Structure 1
Amino acid sequence: MVGIGLGAQESLIQRRVDRRGAALEAIVVILCGLLGAAGFAYFALEMYSALEAPLPYTNYTLIGIVLGPMLTVFGIWVLYTVAAHLVANFLGGRGPISRALRVTGWAIMPIGVWMLLRSIVIVALFYSVDFPPSPEGISPEAQVQNVMELGLESPAYFATFLVGLVFVAWSWRLLAVGIENAKEVSRDKARKIAAVPAVIVGLYLLQSGLQWWTPF
């Protein structure tokens, strides 16, 4: 089943290489970002509704937290595209950056699946949390951080980031297939090229998870 699923994804990427525009890929990236934003949207709504006297700009701070995953996904798309184009060209690849833009959009899908998983974990962790009506902190950022720690300083949340590395590996495989077709390089070379942005994303996930690390 896994092989069939990967084969279907790779076939889709190959069909999209020479199509015009990247509107479909943009929709995929936006949907992935929304999946990541869902968990933080739940947190933001629950926290704001529990506040007795919100500090000025608290709502903007919470909106920023919700938008964070969407900006992250867009940033990964840009990273994948630019790295695939520049590194591939340096190693003898050919083809315009627009082709790389299309194939990298589909390589974001595994990241979107992981973000959905993270959103589910966030909702589960905060479902039983009693949101304080008057959080500690003299600024909206400090208050939000203190409340987030009530749920996210959990081994389960840290483990979610470790699991995320598996999804990055999945994303790397799709990215390699895309680079092979979009930049006309060998599969071995495409895998090496795809490893550059994939390793960066993997390190980013690991660093983000360590921020919430708590001993078991």
Structure 2
Amino acid sequence: MKSRFGQTESDLAKTTIRAPFSGFIERRAVEVGDLVTAGTSCATVLEVAPLLAVGQVSEKEVSWLQIGQSVAVAMGESGGKSVTTEGVISFVARTPDPATRSYRVEARLENLSGASRVGVTARMSVPVAKEMAHLISPASLTLNADGEIGVKTVLDGGLVSFVPVSTVGEETRGLWVTGLPGTAVVITVGHQEVVPGQVVDVRIAEGAV
């Protein structure tokens, strides 16, 4: 009798279904009154704390990142109001994607309130070491005899010089490049017509990139 009573208690306890983790019910597969048996899917529960923000970075950018680094993640930028959440980098790939040659990066977001949703577009911003950069027009870029990308500048006395540069960012106004001195006179018009060592007359154009 005791054994049967114990079995009844056990069966009754199993009528309360509990998920092994906290989360939100995304989809309910059964309704009140439906017959369920062991193995029946009753609901889809989403675990949204923590969340993972996943992105790709270039070969140059991956060297700036490390596990544990702070990151700001802006979510919902593709439409509506953007929400920014703080997180930490939890994974940085050591090998690139064979197709894109970029490296996978994951950031862990606590999301304890559950306010951030799964699957939204996100932008990760990671503070890195500062470096001086100049905003220039892409049309100013040229190649030297060795195939290096750079710009032609004018030194004191009108002497033309070639300066190799590296692109570190871009926006609608132009490209951000490094490699130039703090102040530089960049040839933006006619740079294909002059060569390093040539002396030229300069006319400065204001208000343009």
Relative to the length of structure 2, the TM-score reads: 0.20
Higher Rg: 2
Relative to the length of structure 1, the TM-score reads: 0.20
Which structure: greater strand fraction?
Answer: 2
